[in-house]
Structure 1
Amino acid sequence: MALIILINLGALLGWLGSIVLRLEIPGAVLRMIAVGIVASLTAGLIANGGTFLGSLSWLGFGAAVGATLPAIVGYYAFATREV
């Protein structure tokens, strides 16, 4: 159950991040969602004690949100940098 929650959480935060940050580069919304999913799964795995099959703890949920938001902002800074 924790796996499903973390995937949905990462996808939702990535999608909302692309809306709030107004990232209009083609394909950027899908990449932002992918960044959100990867960050959420990674932080959730570490904070939830390495288990995805059980329930998600509040610590795992908070860590997933806390790690996903900086990852999304970091990707935005990387995607919009001037070369």
Structure 2
Amino acid sequence: MQTTFPRLLLKHAAERPTAPAMREKEYGIWQAHSWAAMAALVEHIACGLHQAGLQRGEHMVVVGANRPRLYATMLAAQSLG
């Protein structure tokens, strides 16, 4: 079985949905993002990318700040192939 980051995300979301997957500091306060929330965010972004016309085998550039949405976007693109 080939392990990919999107598969690992789904595995963690199923096994420990409320556990923190990622933390970011916003206005000096640490905010936690759960595995389930990250999986849902990745799914929504992947659906948006697919609806925008991104298909398996195509290339895209992801540019952004070092924030959870940046990594969610990378995972969404990987999950589309």
Q: TM-score normalised to the size of structure 1?
A: 0.32
The structure carrying a bigger helix percent of its residues is 1
